[in-house]
Amino acid sequence: MLISYRRTGGVFAAVALAATMLTVTVAAAIVLIVASLTATAVWAARAALLRTWPHRTVPPAVQWAHETLDATVVHPINSSAERHVSGMTSDMPSRLV
């Protein structure tokens, strides 16, 4: 039985592969360092600006007028009937729809 083995590449291929992997690893580390430094700078600048930024006072909540609304239940049978609306100053009947 004849088994043939052909070696391809050699020492140059191994060195080229190692150099490529080292370059990729160093580039990834540089990108990671630059990204973390940028994030730290943005975080610090935001914290500093928020402390020095003039704070606006929040206006107080608007109080509701102390009035009550009178309401009547609308029945489907006579919902369009003319009748007085409670609380109106005029004696004219109102038409509720």
| pTM above threshold 0.85 | no
Residue type at position 54: P
- Chain segment 62-86, per-residue pLDDT in tens: 776 666 677 777 766 654 555 555 6
Measured CA distances, 14 to 7, 20, 28, 41 (Å)? 12, 10, 21, 41
Measured CA distances, 30 to 23, 24, 25, 35, 40 (Å)? 11, 10, 9, 9, 15
Residue type at position 66: H
Q: Give the residue extent of every domain in the chain.
A: 11-58+70-95
- Chain segment 27-66, per-residue pLDDT in tens: 999 999 999 999 999 999 888 887 776 767 777 777 766 6
- Chain segment 3-12, per-residue pLDDT in tens: 676 667 788 8
